[in-house]
């Protein structure tokens, strides 16, 4: 009689293991590059203008990308990425647009390691990406607030301070309230007040996320700090087929174009953007300043960066760097 038969013939002793349910929660780690360089964030009109517009864009980006790589150091891991807007406008197709972008980048001496779809920053079939970040926003109650303005979860508006009191209607039979200017929390001498719309609501009741909020999600993905119940959100995927699909939704949310690329996520991010994105990124930094990232993910970054001799700022917004340039493009995705 073998061991298995002996076990089945005898009386099995049940072994019970007790543990807290929180023990089942694990925050998965991701691999990190030292720097994630964004080579562009273009919209329908940029692609519609043809290859010349794309070549002009990458010609402007190339010197800044080279500078970022040089400052990172010769032994540092640097990955590149590119964001395509398939959220606000469905245009062209991956089969047409992706080769056009990669060829234009190549002519400027650049290689795109990862390409991402902006619609994935809103939601995919498996995860409501934007809502993950919304749940991490930390609201600062304004001094003297009376609750007249609805919370961000209802209004879709988020600011970096105290709004002007003129937007609060006076109650019946009460004395009119004198106008008071808005105030930036933590302002240095003078306020730069910002009130950003995170989404609008369509006739069907669905949210249309704003460009600044999706860009904030994009930065959190690149920093490797967005989690869904401990799981990594939108890990890069390879495309094994010979040709790209005709529909954007058939493409992975984050596509690895270079099989030998360093990791997608970076301890820091650097974005080379057209100057039209300056107000958008101002809102992005405000959102990041009010985001409480997953503490376990933050701890993983801190431990790994220290082990590699790299100082990473504790504030999220300070990990995000930019170069704003002008490529002759017009318009925007908002």
Apex 183 CA angle, 147 and 290, nearest 5: 70
The answer to whether the CB of 253 falls within 8 A of the CB of 234 is: yes
In this structure, the number of other CB atoms found within 10 A of the CB of residue 193 comes to: 17
The answer to whether the CB of 152 falls within 8 A of the CB of 158 is: yes
| Banded pLDDT at 261 (limits 50, 70, 90) | very high
Dump pLDDT digits (tens) for 132-156. Answer: 999 999 976 655 555 566 788 888 9
Residue 302 DSSP class: H
| Averaged pLDDT of the chain | 85
> What pLDDT does residue 80 have?
98
Spacing of C-alpha 238 from chain mean position? 20
- Residues ≥6 apart with Cβ < 8 Å to 140: 185, 290
Q: In 75-124, which ranges are E strands?
A: 78-84, 114-117
- Segments making up each domain of the chain, as ranges: 33-135+212-275+287-325
The answer to whether the CB of 223 falls within 8 A of the CB of 269 is: yes
In this structure, the number of other CB atoms found within 10 A of the CB of residue 21 comes to: 6
Smallest Cα–Cα separation from 85: which of 126, 125, 53, 40?
A: 40
The answer to whether the CB of 157 falls within 8 A of the CB of 196 is: yes
| pTM > 0.75: yes or no | yes
Cα separation, 253 vs 314, in Å, equals: 28
Q: What is the dihedral of CA 272, 139, 179, 212, to 10 degrees?
A: 20
Dump pLDDT digits (tens) for 175-220. Answer: 666 788 888 888 888 989 999 999 999 888 899 999 999 999 999 9
């Amino acid at each position: 009689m073998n061991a298995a038969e002996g076990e089945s013939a005898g009386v099995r002793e049940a072994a019970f293991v007790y543990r807290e349910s929180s023990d089942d929660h694990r925050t998965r780690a991701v691999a990190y590059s030292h720097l994630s360089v964004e080579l562009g964030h273009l919209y329908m009109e940029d692609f519609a203008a043809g290859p010349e517009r794309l070549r002009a864009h990458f010609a402007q980006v190339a010197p800044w990308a080279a500078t970022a790589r040089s400052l990172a150091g010769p032994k540092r891991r640097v990955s590149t990425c590119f964001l395509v807007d398939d959220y606000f406008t469905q245009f062209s197709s991956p089969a047409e647009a992706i080769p056009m972008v990669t060829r234009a980048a190549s002519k400027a001496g650049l290689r795109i390691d990862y390409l991402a779809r902006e619609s994935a920053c809103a939601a995919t079939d498996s995860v409501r990406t934007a809502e993950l970040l919304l749940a991490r926003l930390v609201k600062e109650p304004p001094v003297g607030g009376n609750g007249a303005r609805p919370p961000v979860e209802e209004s879709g508006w988020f600011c970096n301070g105290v709004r002007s009191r003129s937007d609060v209607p006076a109650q019946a039979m009460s004395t009119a309230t004198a106008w008071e200017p808005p105030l930036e929390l933590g302002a240095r001498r003078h306020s730069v007040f910002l009130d950003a719309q995170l989404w609008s609501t369509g006739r069907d009741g669905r949210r249309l996320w704003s460009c600044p909020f999706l860009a904030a999600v994009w930065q959190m993905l690149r920093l490797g700090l967005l989690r869904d119940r401990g799981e990594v959100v939108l890990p890069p995927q390879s495309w094994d087929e010979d040709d790209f699909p005709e529909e954007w939704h058939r493409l992975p949310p984050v596509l690895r174009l270079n099989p030998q690329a360093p990791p997608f996520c970076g301890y820091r991010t650097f974005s080379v953007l057209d100057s039209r994105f300056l107000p958008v990124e101002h809102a992005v930094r405000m959102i990041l300043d009010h985001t409480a990232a997953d503490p376990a993910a933050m701890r993983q970054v801190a431990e790994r960066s220290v082990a590699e001799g790299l100082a990473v700022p504790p504030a999220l917004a300070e990990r995000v760097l930019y170069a704003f340039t002008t490529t002759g493009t017009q318009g925007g995705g908002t």
